[in-house]
Amino acid sequence: MSHQKKEETIIPEKGTVLSAEKGTKRVILDILKKALAENLFDAVLIPAQVPETEAYSWILLQDESLFEWADPLPPVMTVQGGRALSSFSKNGELEQNIAALLRPCEIRAAIELFKLKQVNLKNITLISLDCPGAMPLSNYMSDPQKTKKDFQHILEKWENSESLRPVCQVCQHFSFIDGTAADLHIGLLGDKNKNITLIPSSPKGKKLLDQLEFGTKDSVEKWKTEKQQLANEKIKRIDAFNREWKKKINQANGFFNEFNPCINCHNCMNVCPMCYCQQCYFDSQAINFKPEAYMQKAEQKGALRFPLNTMLFHIGRMSHMVLSCVSCGACEDACPVSIPVSQLFSMVSDQTQKEFKYTPGMNREDALPLQDFTEQEFCEVEVPDECHEKAPEEAK
């Protein structure tokens, strides 16, 4: 990459450690409340439980008294936060200051959308937090109480649980985003829920901590150690995960078989933060033909499947967004026929992103792989391979 920042952002040594005796969620909400009261922000974008229901949603909170609805760590990811942020920030710059409390995968989606000009980050402070994962939405909807209890247990222990969504179990970016994505990170690890650690990840975040009079005097070492431990465990799992899926897919018709139950509802596309096109080719009239065309096709093959383009939709969507896929798992939650969409996309994105040495949503400055190039790259794919032909000439 030509204009990619080469040096890695190093996790700062100092932050603020706050006691979480009152409960983690309470402490996080108190910080945001304080910031709102001191007019550091005009509004906070935060997940909230719809009163007297089990439903979770996003709210742009301006009235401090409504903080009781807010839940910084809901057991499920209903709407992807990147999408929520894009829905109100894509049409122009905001004059007011807004804080957005998002899971790391949601922040990364927001950064990808920022690169695609679907999110305007001016005056928006992105706050990430250690994410234990999320429970499958269908499990939560069928038994909210039990799922909540299970989630609470996971949150206390910070251990892997089979009841989490599969992509969450192997998530590599569950904590501090090592780059210029977020402004402030809230570490829940470290002393296992007794403390929370505020780590600034941008000058904006550091200023915020100073304005809140927290400063950056405390060592974040404890949080860092625990985070690293958890990261190591997850790395072990991802290799096995990718290998297993690769094996499954590489069987004859492996990929097609996985997607055969698809009912063409396009939910995966509608919930995907990266599928931002206003008019999707697959929803357009461009794929509709006169009935004779279908009869002809059916005659050629002996039969024709309806609705059309099931596999083309999935592979086509993959080709369009896989390099920006943050493996948030929203697609799998939305699938009514339980296709492991996000697991497959996660495996494929892992392979393809590696080829471009790109991890989506890490740095605001990194160009999207398909919008960037250098002249001397990937020469091995072209016929003739010109880089190597030209190289001696240029040496002269």
Partner 1 sequence: MNSKYKPNIIAFLCNWCSYTGADLAGTARMKIPSSIKTIRVMCSGRIDALFVLKAFLKGADGVMMMGCHPGDCHYQKGNYNTRRRYVLLDNLFKTLGLEKKRIGLWWVSASEANRYAKVTNEYTEEIKKLGPNPTSEEIFL
Site of interaction with partner 1 (CB under 8 A)? 246, 249-251, 253-256, 260, 281, 301-305, 309-312, 315-316, 318-320, 322-323, 347-348, 351-352, 355-356, 369-373, 375, 377-378, 381-384, 386-387
> 7 or 382: whose CB is closer to partner 1?
382
* Beta carbon nearer to partner 1, 265 or 312: 312
* Cis before 340? omega within 30: no
Decide whether 322 or 362 has the Cβ nearer to partner 1.
322
Residue 390 CB, nearest approach to partner 1 (Å): 9
Cα–Cα distance, 321 to 316 (Å, whole number): 9
Q: Which is nearer to partner 1, 53 or 278 (CB)?
A: 278
Whether 122 contacts 93, CB under 8 Å:
yes
Alpha carbon distance 49, 45 (integer Å): 13
How near is the Cβ of 218 to partner 1 at its closest, in Å?
44
Question: Is the separation of the CB atoms in 155 and 191 below 8 Å?
Answer: no
Provide, rounded to whole angstroms, the least separation between the CB of residue 354 and partner 1.
9
What is the nearest approach in angstroms of partner 1 to the Cβ of residue 116?
A: 16
Q: Sign (positive/negative) of CA torsion 154, 156, 157, 159?
A: positive
Minimum gap (Å) between residue 325 Cβ and partner 1: 12
Q: Any bridge partners for residue 100, and if so which?
A: 45, 126
Among 228, 224, 169, residue whose Cα is nearest residue 195? 224
Complex with partner 1: residue 102 or 347, whichever CB lies closer: 347
Q: Residue 243 contacts by C-beta under 8 Å, 6 or more apart in sequence? A: none
If the CB atoms of residues 62 and 319 are measured against partner 1, the closer one turns out to be: 319
Phi, psi of 117 (to 5 degrees): 60, 35
Q: How far is the CB of 52 from partner 1 (least distance, A)?
A: 46
